[in-house]
Amino acid sequence: MMIRRRTALLGLAATVALGNVSLALAEAGTRKRFVVVILRGALDGLSTVVPYGDANLRAWRASLLLPEPGKPDGVLDMGGFWGLHPQLKRLHALYGAGEMLPVHAAAGPTRSRSHFEAQDLLECGAGERMDTGWLNRLAGLLPPAPGENDRAVALGQTVPLLLRGPLPVNSWAPGGKPDPGVEFYGRLAAMHEADKLTGPAMADGLRQRGIEGQALAGAAGPGGDAPFVTLARAAGRFLADPKGPRLAALELDGWDTHSNQTFRLKYALMPLDAGLAALKESLGPAWADTVVVVMTEFGRTVRVNGTLGTDHGTATVAFVLGGGVRGGRVLADWPGLAENKLFENRDLAPTTDLRGVIKGLLAGHYGLGPDALTTIFPESQTIAPAAGLLRA
């Protein structure tokens, strides 16, 4: 399978300075948009979409338990069994509008509890490490953008594996340094032209600067936005542009709540909620053509550890959002929290493979068939695409 060159990435100084957010975008010849948000560090599903109706929850989680719906700072009810973390108010509104679908007891392709290995495999979409990410392989299967240029725009200092392909990628950021002038850049490009390592990257960098500049102007919201909110809003603006990119990957870290989880999670969820709302808002009417998947490498232990946190676990929650998503319900084959139901006597058991969820979304969104879906997720023939995730 030839992967076409349309992953191109840009860097934004502000995010680098704050360190924990990045965005990458790629083009495709379709009006359908697809956004993946990777939460690095392992989000605790049981504190985010709380199964408050599960009789065993209180015994495990007494010290981390959020109040029930209706009480002060209580979880936001979703159908009498599930409660959304009270910081996720905007997501809850989307749930109410039928455009947000939590997927619980879900896990990626691996049972590894190593952050780095699990993140890599989640982004490869395979049980073994690959050099390319599944979003990159999706890009290769979609029709080319008109003119098949490689001027896709993207933000973020490092390229997530999710969007990494066989070709070098480039990056862009608004600059404020003294301008050495066109002559200088011309000589610089000529000097690097024949270099296999730096030549293509330099050329792409220069092209990006040439075409961009105005793109981020106005992307920053009213002062004081968290970096994730700024980048999510920028992503929406890029994706909404009729000639803009169609695929986006956002990364946000800070979920590794080994200690003081209640406090940490609250402040990690706040920008996530605001950012996803900003993404929807800036997409405008294109929201109807957009599917967003929010996922993390694994969940956390059912038991609370010795430092009021949780350690690396297995299954957790993911979110699917978008104008065409059949939301307003929680998708879960709930294994329960009884001691004999826990995975390896410590974790929420995985009952839904995220690859099946994403395959179902890609099948419905892009009309991709089994062969294409197996190219995107190798050796996933036995994992059926989840049905009925999108409104017909």
Least distance in angstroms from the C-beta of 256 to another protein: 8
Q: Is the Cα torsion angle 361, 364, 365, 369 positive or negative in sign?
A: positive
Q: Which region among 48-56, 68-76, 175-183, 280-288 touches another protein (by CB under 8 A)? A: 175-183
101 touching another protein, by CB under 8 A: no
13 touching another protein, by CB under 8 A: yes
Query: Counting every residue, how long is the chain?
Result: 392
62 touching another protein, by CB under 8 A: no
Task: Characterise 356 by phi-psi region: left (phi > 0), alpha (psi -120 to 50), beta (else).
Answer: alpha
Q: Which region among 182-190, 232-240, 355-363, 370-378 touches another protein (by CB under 8 A)? A: 182-190
Angstrom distance (rounded) from CA 189 to CA 184: 9
Query: Contact, 104 vs 51, CB < 8 A?
Result: yes
Decide: residue 30, CB within 10 A, 0-12 exposed, 13-18 middle, 19+ buried.
Answer: middle
Beta bridge partners of 247: 26, 34
- Listed in order, strand segments (DSSP E) in 27-78 are 33-40, 49-50, 76-78
Return the residue of 146, 182, 183, 392 that touches another protein, per CB under 8 A.
Answer: 183
Return the residue of 94, 304, 361, 363 that touches another protein, per CB under 8 A.
Answer: 304
* Amino acid (one-letter) located at 161: L
Return the residue of 113, 151, 246, 359 that touches another protein, per CB under 8 A.
Answer: 113
Return the residue of 4, 5, 6, 10 that touches another protein, per CB under 8 A.
Answer: 10
Return the residue of 197, 214, 224, 242 that touches another protein, per CB under 8 A.
Answer: 197
- Sites for another protein among residues 14-53 (CB under 8 A): 16-17, 19-20
Pull the structure tokens for residue 42: 């392992």
Least distance in angstroms from the C-beta of 169 to another protein: 6
- In terms of DSSP H, where are the helices of the chain? 13-18, 45-48, 57-61, 89-96, 115-124, 134-141, 182-192, 198-211, 227-240, 261-283, 354-366, 370-376
End-to-end CA distance of the chain: 30
Angstrom distance (rounded) from CA 324 to CA 185: 45
- Sites for another protein among residues 118-157 (CB under 8 A): 157
Nearer to another protein, 76 or 219 (CB): 219
Return the residue of 56, 158, 351, 375 that touches another protein, per CB under 8 A.
Answer: 158
Compose the 65-84 pattern: x for residues touching another protein by CB under 8 A, - for all others: --------------------
Return the residue of 3, 65, 93, 206 that touches another protein, per CB under 8 A.
Answer: 206
**Interface contacts to another protein, rule CB under 8 A:** 9-11, 13, 16-17, 19-20, 112-117, 157-159, 164, 168-173, 175, 177-178, 180, 183-185, 187-188, 190-192, 194-195, 197-199, 201-209, 253, 258-259, 303-307, 309, 311-312, 344, 346
